[in-house]
Amino acid sequence: MIIDTHIHNVKAFKWNNLYRGCLIPKPESFNDVDIENLNNLVKQEISGRDEITCFASVNPENGVPEVDRAVRELGFKGLALDTEANFKFSHDAIWRLFEEIHELDVPVFIHSEPDRINFDLDEVNEAIISFPDVNFIFAHLGIRKGEDFIRIVPETNAFFETSNISGDFITETLENITCDRLVFGSNAEKEYPLEEIQKINSLPISEDDKHKILFSNMADILDLKLPEDNPKEKFGSFVSRFITKFQ
Ligand SMILES: [Zn+2]
């Protein structure tokens, strides 16, 4: 049973094998009109696919009206802030956005390319500490250029997504934080990258902890109702069937 926190292409996502995927749009521009069109397109794209959860794109300089529209009218379940927009966590507009997110009660996904975040960590910490009820999820463990966010942001509302990070580095990370802070993502664009799942299954941690990373941490963040059967019992066989099917 797997929730994928980070997909870019719904075609890569197979309903029978993955429980849910979070679609993170990748804006090509951040002006208000383009962003509104992108969110509308995403809404069309997932029509009839209840297994996909959408995160809303915004123009970080004026994000409140669009995230409000996307969540209340389009039914999106989170905010995706893209680091390509070069926003700062200290900007008034970003704080207004987080205040709105607090009202809407949805998580924030900080989307970046691996190793390309260049935030001021004090500003990140201040936002995370100031909005303790907002769950922040950092793509690719929030790795900055050669640095590790996780040592600096131990708050329980900060989560770290695992795609494009080596198993060894994740194992090292787990010396500093618990499995409760990690959520699985694949960063799937075309073909589904099964190695991302295998990587989590190969970590030297308990089956319960793998289940937290692959499923239950994100299920809690999204406030999903769990399937009626016991996911822990079925977890091992689900994963092995998934892997067999795609091999
Ligand atoms: Zn991505």
At 113 the pLDDT is 80
- Give the closest residue to 24 by CA, choosing from 144, 89, 87, 108: 108
pLDDT in tens, the chain (247 residues): 899 999 999 988 886 668 999 999 999 999 999 999 999 999 999 998 889 999 999 999 999 999 999 999 999 999 999 988 989 999 999 999 999 999 999 999 999 887 667 788 889 999 999 999 999 999 999 887 777 777 766 789 999 999 999 999 999 999 989 999 999 999 999 889 999 999 999 999 999 999 999 999 999 999 997 666 445 544 555 555 555 555 4
Any residues with CB less than 8 A from the CB of 87 and at least 6 apart, and which?
Answer: 60, 61, 81, 93, 94
Distance CA 219, CA 223 (A): 6
CA of 143 to the centre of ligand 1 (A): 13
pTM for this entry: 0.89
CA of 6 to the centre of ligand 1 (A): 6
CA of 210 to the centre of ligand 1 (A): 22
At 247 the pLDDT is 45
- Give the closest residue to 32 by CA, choosing from 73, 65, 77: 65
Taken in order of first residue, the domains within the chain and their CATH numbers are: 3-246 (3.20.20.140)
**Measured in Å, how far apart are the chain's first and last C-alpha atoms?**
18
CA of 135 to the centre of ligand 1 (A): 18
CA of 91 to the centre of ligand 1 (A): 23
CA of 7 to the centre of ligand 1 (A): 7
CA of 54 to the centre of ligand 1 (A): 14
CA of 47 to the centre of ligand 1 (A): 21
Work out the angle between the directed axes of helices 92-104 and 64-72 (0-180°, nearest 10): 20
CA of 112 to the centre of ligand 1 (A): 6
CA of 243 to the centre of ligand 1 (A): 22
Edge-to-edge strands of the sheet including 182-183? 3-7, 20-23, 52-57, 78-82, 108-111, 136-138, 158-161, 182-183
